[in-house]
A = this chain, B = another copy of it.
Amino acid sequence: MSTIKDVAARAGVSFTTVSHVLNGTRRVSDAARARVEQAVAEMGYAPSAVARALKTSETFVFGVLVPNITNPFFAELTRGIEERCRQTDYSVFLCNTDDESELQTHYLQTLLERRVDGLLLAAAAGEPEPLVRRLGFARVPTVVVERRIPGLEADLVRVDHDAGARLAASHLAALGHRRIACLSGPSRFLVSRERTAGWVAGLQEAGIEIRADWMLEGDFSAAAGHALAHELLRQREVTAILAGNDMMAIGVLRAAAELGVSVPGELSVIGFDGIDMGSYMFPALTSVGHPIRELGEMAASVLLERLGKRVLPVREVVMAPHLIERASTGPAPKG
């Protein structure tokens, strides 16, 4: 690769001048500028970001830690982050941690060595302690997505799951449903607990009885939704199901199809997350959507702001979900 000095030689100026032309950091005569620009074009010169980073101690790179880019949620999130970064010439280092604590610290170390200007943590599995200690040394501006990490002073961007769950509950209530089952995710996840709390609050507000045997727990997978729904639908008692996420709702839809229960005629189903896949189901899945890409963009924006003002107090940004009405919910059947 050619260097700034090669360009300077070809243009017949000092490399200082080349630098200033490239960065627009001081006046350069039109003649010199033209010669430099021509030399750059002829040689296909690309200034070394690594030398620049060494000198300025800014890399214009953010590190992004996600459990698994294959999960549509994180794909969309990453996309949002990347999109926001694009506007400000930041690039993104992507790391899949597989929710493994060890990989997570390994990647964190790598990112710190690479001197990223900021960190977006959408993954935070296992013990936070080593992670927090590592970050404490480095003092890299950090934004956490969806999960507060104890001991870490970082901005947080998250979705208001409680409000979303209330939305789902009141939607069903408004359609006249009274016999409603809840299929929650694993209660060890904060998201699950928040969503369940929202359902309960929403149903209570509508004066709907909450039967303990209609509160089932799954693991966020379609298989779990499928199995739980089979069990639940045998009695044909409930007229609607609140699912902890879209994958579980898809499992429910499938169980209903197998059992000949018509949706939404006999049963209404509402999911959570608003993933694209839901719209390809038959019937298309009604869901509580959150603006995942916006979540990513917001996370990046918060980080960019943090770069400017390190002394800003720690922020928490909460994004509101919304109802995506498609075809899997309808009026409660008579009787």
Interface residues, chain A, CB within 8 Å of chain B? 1, 43-44, 46-51, 53-54, 59, 61, 68-70, 72, 75-76, 78-79, 82-83, 86, 89, 91-96, 103, 109-110, 112-115, 133-134, 136-138, 222, 247, 250-251, 253-254, 257-258, 277, 280-282
Contact = CB atoms under 8 A, between A and B. Distances in A.
- Copies of this subunit: 2
A69 B75 contact: yes
Give the one of A1, A47, A136, A247 with max B CB within 10 A.
Answer: A1
Nearest to A115: B50
A136 B51 CA distance: 22
A46 B112 contact: yes
A247 B279 CA distance: 12
A176 to B, nearest CB: 26
Contacts of A115: 1, 48-50
Contacts of A48: 54, 113, 115
A88 to B, nearest CB: 12
Contact of A134 (B44, B69, B137): B44
Contacts of A134: 44
A247 B277 CA distance: 10
A283 B136 CA distance: 51
B70 A75 contact: yes
Nearest to A93: B91
Given A44-B138, A46-B137, A89-B110, 10 more contacts: A46-B113, A46-B138, A47-B113, A61-B114, A72-B72, A91-B110, A92-B95, A94-B94, A250-B280, A257-B282
A127 to B, nearest CB: 17
Contacts of A49: 110, 113-115
Contacts of A251: 280
Contacts of A47: 113
Contacts of A94: 78, 82, 92-94
A259 to B, nearest CB: 11
A258 B283 CA distance: 9
A118 to B, nearest CB: 14
A272 to B, nearest CB: 16
Contacts of A79: 68-70, 96
Contacts of A78: 69, 94
Contacts of A247: 280
Contacts of A258: 282
Given A69-B69, A70-B79, A83-B96, A50 B114 contact: yes
A95 B82 contact: yes
Contacts of A281: 280-281
